[in-house]
Structure 1
Amino acid sequence: MAAQPAKPRNCAGATLDYIGARHVGVGPEVSSYTTQAVKIPMRDGIKLAADLYAPELPSGQTPAGLIMIQCCYGRGAGISFINARVFAARGYRALMVSTRGTAGSEGVFDPGSNEQFDSQDIVDWMRQQPWYPGSFATMGASYLGYSQWALLQNPPEDCVAAIIPVGPHDHAWHAWGTGSFRLDRASWSDVMSKGEEESGSIVSRLANIPGLSFLRSKELEEAVAGLPLDTSLQRYFGDRAPWLFEYLKHPCIDDDYWTSRRHNATLERVQIPILLVSGWWDTFTTQTMHQFKYLRDRGVNVSLIVGPWTHVQGSGIHSMPEIMDFLAEHLAKTGKYSHPPARIHITGSKEWRSMPTWPPVTEPKCLFLQEYNKIGSKLPLQNAPEASFVFDPLDPTPSIGGNQISSGGQVNDSAYADRSDVLAFTSEPLAQAFEVLGKPCVYLMHASDPPFADLFLRLSEVDIEDVSHNITEMYHALDPSRDMTQPLKLELQDCAHRFKKGTRVRLLVAGGSFPMYARNLGTAESRVFGTKTAPQRHTLTIAGGVSQLVLPVAADA
């Protein structure tokens, strides 16, 4: 089949590009551009659909460079603007390729399994084209970022830079890394398994799910609440999203099933400059912070931006000026990325901080869990009574804000303190301000009856009006064979927060966070395939200071 002719940008497209560029804060256009639909052959014979964007430059002037984007969310106006059109209008050529089995690409969509080889085939095809300049950069957020990590598992020599906002490198870590299943895999699979003609724009549906729950419908809410979980979801999905049920079958992240969906080896091999972008309430913050630290320790030229953002907000729409600077230095070779290695937003003070690395040097600040649901620097008495609560899997503790895929973020989580299935340890008003920079750690002398139980911990701040807002959190499915005479060491996710004078520190302890995570049923049965449930009594020993919160506090505090 002959290649389709390139189409010039029309007036409506130019208007949308102008409005979008103002919104994301980039400089003026240098050209218009054309779009050409192409088909890219893979080694197994299937063809991927793609759009090639080429700037219309004066005679004798060449594009600033080539950007490769792999996308499973279609190639429509919304997704193509932030990934291709904004760059084409500023002198770059961009190739936007739809993932296998999506948006006109042949084959079957099987999330995470084909990107490693398909991306290499795309690169091989690019090298054979007359317009190929000899090098390229990669770009794209979320699943588009995952596709970049898959390519970089075997880094092409002509790939010179990568821009990866909110992008995981390990599907298993996200799905089962806590020991409990992330139920946002169900809502994401619901969106991805429906055609755009049935569901509307994939991008808009992912970005605009209302309410505190990320679940998009009453029917899906009922499905994730049903028992057994696998059967309940099967009734909802039917023959859609077969990958979801493979996820459910493989709770061990080291299972062979996950091998093609995990790209930890990339962190060992990659050498090119990389720009990472995340938000404190992104779904993949933990993976992005791990990526930065690992690459930084290896001496890779890696830069990090972390803002007060959720997943969608951290996808690059608030970082476009820095992205343009990064491309100017590492692809176009016409500018300089003059920003620090780590550009961090400090919540609480609402300021940006430039840092040579992350985390910075800190000093431990120890706060002890005390009786009467207090927490503070004073050591509790040796005879301080235990604290306890009961988690009921049939009436689970709800997910409120936090690192949910689309409806999380920093929210008023005061409701937790009024629940009987949550312990809220709260300090006295602070006599002086201090900053927490890094991963808070909780040492918890904990027991549960029965031994099958999970823990959800959250660090929050209570303001002077007695309203609590979340800062960071963690989830952990406990080993039922653990030694309950030994304290647990539980690290929360990275954060950067300034506790102001007069505010209070709050540590929340619960036995679940539903529907963010599949519930522990309190029995030896699988949380995926089980039907029997049992309430779980959690007991914390606080006497003598055995349970404590350790905050990494700025060294000059």
Structure 2
Amino acid sequence: MMGLPVSRSYATAAMDYMGGRYLGMGPEKCSYTSQSVEIPMRDDTKLAAEFYNPILPSGHVPAGLIMIQCCYGRGGGITFFNARSFAARGYQALFVSTRGTFGSGGTFDPHMHEENDSQDIVKWMRLQAWYPGTFATLGASYLGYSQWALFRDPPEDCVAAVIPVGPHDQAWHVWGTGSFRLDRASWSDMMSRPEEERGSFLSRLTNLPGFSFLRSSELDEAVKGLPLEASLRKYFKDRAPWIFDYLANPNVDEPYWEKKRHEVSLDRVDFPILLIGGWYDTFTTQTIHQYKYLFNRGVDVNLIVGPWTHVHGSGLHSMPEIMEFLAQNLAKDGEYSRSRAQIFVTGAEKWYSLSTWPPQTSLKFLYLQEDNGIGAEKPAEEAIPASFIFDPLHPTPSIGGNQMTSGGKVDDSEYANRTDVLTFTSEPLIESLEIMGAPSVLLTHSSDPPFADLFIRLSEVDCHGTSHNITEMYQALDPDRDSSKILQLNLQDCAHQFRPGTCIRLVIAGGSFPMYARNLGTNESRVRSEKTAPQKHTIRIADGVSQIIFPIATGPLPTI
């Protein structure tokens, strides 16, 4: 079922013009019409959608068709960013609301129905008179996840995909560290509220004044409550039932997660893909994994990673590249002239143009020192261990980093003043040090009791003594581990240049709250227990058994 075409209004045209100019999309080529659409699914559910069709001179055909699936509404901001801006440049766009959201039938069950529904959307498109024979997919975050769900069985007529900050594996995000990712509570709070309260996706996720993420002080208190699951049940009541399924399935290999994990898609796609991420995005690890996997398979994949958080990595700063990519791979009337990997190097504050990520590197080893330093010399065999105590009732706070809405590059000097954190800091560097890839930290570590987590962060201390975060990782430790053996912890990929005069800092803590649910220090469930025990962490320093391994660029790299 399709409604009548409606031409865009003067007000919409003005907003499209200003938005496209701000994002560097190049001049508009035409106006367009929009049509309301209902798309039937295999179970007779109907999905609501808008079809945008460019108004072209006689004899001209659209540049191609873009398919978008979205759970955040079909309001002005998000349709401009994902559909209208492309329609004004000659592309058709089909913008579909996810099952159970904004007029689409059925019940919203996050990440559960996208695989089948996306295939049904494609089957319906093929039957329409306006279908050009091929299409591309586009969209960030959940919209990117929906693409990976479709690519579990890639349609042969899908010729390209643009996926900014889009995870392919929800289990990895929710429980991949061994601790529950608490941003699922704030996201679920937004998604389970009445649609008129949610507003557009972009307005709810930006950090500009008046555009804060929909989160209440009551939810903040609920997240602090113990037992966590009971506290969240009291807050949500009958809303967001899926979050309690998440809490009930902490093992990522449980059958519950199978339909929400699409690693197999990385083995099956064979068309050009543009991946976009940010060093401070919550899904950066998955974006980098996607790129490396596809590149190693020989897929035509391009990567852009900027100094961005989740929202700013969603394509806001990459529209010129997206337009070039679609011109080459969908419209077939242009060329993607960018390098295989465009990487922003923090510290240097420059873009690098690379043939792949990471580039060729060599390894540099530095050792944790007895005086809380970092140096090239191994400490003596009699060096005294370092220790701290993590108290789950007074957890170490999350400060910036890869959080969904309050992350980014921040001043994290506070960590150096806390008794529940160890910080190791080098002397000011004499020469620059350029890291390209994933640093590793080797620790000879024990905890009492053995139920404990580790939060590791690499930061830079500037010449004024202010520390800023670079990259990090989080891991719940196996309580049955052999603590005499070296523990290897791989941080998230980064691209950073330590300049002369700056210092390397390593932050080690037993938690990062409220990014992750606290380890309570007992053998009971961290989400169902209220019993807690402080955890004493001890790190051996003697003879260089605890160290940092940096991947260092082996030669000069081209800048953009």
Q: Do the two structures share a fold, i.e. TM-score over 0.5?
A: yes
- 1:336 matched to 2:352: no
Structure 1 position 206, deviation (Å): 2.7
Moved more, 371-380 or 451-460: 371-380
User: Following TM superposition, by how much is the alpha carbon of 1:361 offset from its aligned partner in structure 2, in angstroms?
Assistant: 0.9
- Paired residues, number: 555
Q: Is contact 1:139-1:163 (8 Å) kept?
A: yes
Partner SS state of residue 272, structure 1: coil
1:504-543 alignment, distance < 5 Å: 504-543=503-542
Deviation of 1:199 (Å):
3.9
Checking the alignment, whether the CA contact within 8 Å between 1:162 and 1:273 is kept in structure 2 is: yes
Alpha-carbon separation, structure 2, partners of 1:125 and 1:376 = 62
Q: Which moved more, 1:491-500 or 1:213-222?
A: 213-222
Equivalent residue, structure 2, for 1:53: 52
Task: After TM superposition, give the deviation of residue 488 of structure 1 in Å.
Answer: 0.2
CA distance in 1, matches of 2:73, 2:397: 33
CA deviation profile, 1:312-365 (whole Å, cap 9, x unmatched): 000001000000000000000000001111010000011000111111111111
CA distance in 2, matches of 1:199, 1:73: 8
Do the aligned residues in 2 keep the contact of 1:215 with 1:221 (CA within 8 Å)?
A: no
Q: Deviations over 1:339-395 (max 9, x none)?
A: 111010000011000111111111111110001211111111111101000000000
1:446 and 1:183 mapped to 2: Cα distance?
26
Q: 2:289 corresponds to which residue?
A: 290
Are the structure 2 counterparts of residues 214 and 41 from structure 1 closer, same or farther at C-alpha, using a change threshold of 3 Å? closer
Post-superposition CA distance 1:484-523 (Å, at most 9, x none) = 0001000000000000000000000000000000000000
Residues 277 and 308 in structure 2, CA contact (< 8 A), matched pair in contact too = yes
Residue 91 (structure 1) aligned with residue 63 (structure 2): no
Q: Distance in 1 between matches of 2:245 and 2:69?
A: 24
Q: Is the 8 A contact 2:327 2:336 kept in 1?
A: yes
Taking the TM superposition and a 5 Å limit, the aligned residue runs for 1:337-416 are 337-416=336-415
Corresponding position of 1:258: 257
Query: Which residue type is aligned with residue 496 of structure 1?
Result: A
Are 1:214 and 1:407, in contact at CA under 8 Å, matched by a contact in 2? no
Aligned mates of 1:14, 1:59 — CA distance in 2: 22
Q: Deviations over 1:394-421 (max 9, x none)?
A: 0000000000011100000000000000
What does 1:93-112 align with in structure 2 at a 5 Å threshold? 93-112=92-111
CA distance, structure 2, for counterparts of residue 209 and residue 521 of structure 1: 35
Give the RMSD, CA atoms, in angstroms: 1.2
Cα shift at 1:208: 3.6
1:554 aligned partner = 553
CA contact (8 A) 1:184 1:214 kept: no
Give the letter aligned to residue 150 of structure 2. Answer: L
For 1:328 and 1:346, locate their aligned partners in 2 and report how far apart those are by CA, in whole Å: 28
Alignment correspondent of 1:196: 195
What one-letter code is carried by the residue in structure 1 that aligns with 2:78? I
Aligned to 2:166: 167
Contact kept in structure 1, 2:41 and 2:47, CA below 8 Å: yes
Residues 1:438 and 2:433 are matched in the alignment: no
Matched, 1:180 2:166: no
Aligned residues of 1:100 and 1:108 also touching (Cα < 8 A) = yes
Contact 1:188 1:206 in 2 (8 A): no
Q: Distance between the aligned counterparts of 2:318 and 2:201, measured in 1?
A: 22
Counterparts of 1:201 and 1:241 in 2: how far apart (Å)?
19
Quick one: which amino acid aligns to residue 227 of structure 2?
P
Q: Counterparts of 1:334 and 1:314 in 2: how far apart (Å)?
A: 27
Q: Which residue of 1 aligns with 2:149?
A: 150
Contact residue 436 and residue 496 of structure 1 kept, 8 A: yes
Q: State the distance in 1 between where 2:106 and 2:142 align.
A: 18
Uncovered stretches (5+) of structure 1, i.e. residues with no partner:
none
Seen in structure 2, the aligned counterparts of structure 1 residues 23 and 337 have a Cα distance that, compared at 3 Å, is same
Contact 2:7/2:34 (<8 A) preserved: yes
SS of residue matched to 2:458 = strand
Task: Tell me the residue number matched to 1:216.
Answer: 215
Matched position secondary structure for 1:16:
helix
- In the aligned structure 2, how far is the partner of 1:23 from the partner of 1:454? 44
TM-score by length of 2: 0.98
Which residue pairs with 1:228 in the alignment?
227
> What 5-or-longer segments of structure 2 have no aligned partner?
none
Query: Alpha-carbon deviation of 1:218?
Result: 1.3
**Any idea what SS the aligned residue of 1:111 has?**
coil
Asked if the contact 1:168–1:287 (Cα under 8 Å) also holds between the matched residues in 2, the reply is yes
Question: Is this contact kept in 2: 1:396–1:514, CA < 8 A?
Answer: yes
Q: What SS class does the counterpart of residue 86 from structure 1 fall into?
A: helix
Question: Helix, strand or coil: the match of 1:375?
Answer: strand
Matches of 2:198 and 2:29 in 1, distance apart? 36
Equivalent-residue separation in structure 2 for 1:38 and 1:195 (angstroms): 22
Number of the residue aligned with 2:306: 307
Shift of the 236–210 alpha-carbon distance from structure 1 to 2, 3 Å rule, reads farther
In structure 1, the residue matched to 2:482 is 483
Q: Percent identity?
A: 66
- State the 1:18 CA deviation: 1.0
| Structure 1 residue 23, shift from structure 2 partner | 1.4
1:435–1:554: 8 Å Cα contact kept in structure 2? yes
Aligned amino acid, residue 337 of structure 2: S
- CA-to-aligned-CA distance 1:3-53 (integer Å, 9 cap, x gap): 311110001101111111111111000000111000000000000000000
**Alpha-carbon distance in 2 for matches of 1:203, 1:498:** 32
SS across alignment from 2:313: coil
Contact 2:373 2:426 in 1 (8 A): yes
Supply the distance in 1 between the matched residues of 2:497 and 2:2 (Cα, whole angstroms): 57
In the alignment, structure 1 residue 268 sits paired with structure 2 residue 283: no
CA contact (8 A) 1:396 1:519 kept: yes
Q: TM-score, normalised by structure 1?
A: 0.98
> 1:196: how far off?
2.5
Measured in 2, the distance between the counterparts of 1:28 and 1:152 equals 32
Q: What displacement does 1:555 show?
A: 1.0
Paired residues of 2:70 and 2:95 also in contact (CA < 8 A) = yes
Cα–Cα, structure 1 residues 412 and 276, in superposed 2: closer, same or farther, change >3 Å?
Answer: same
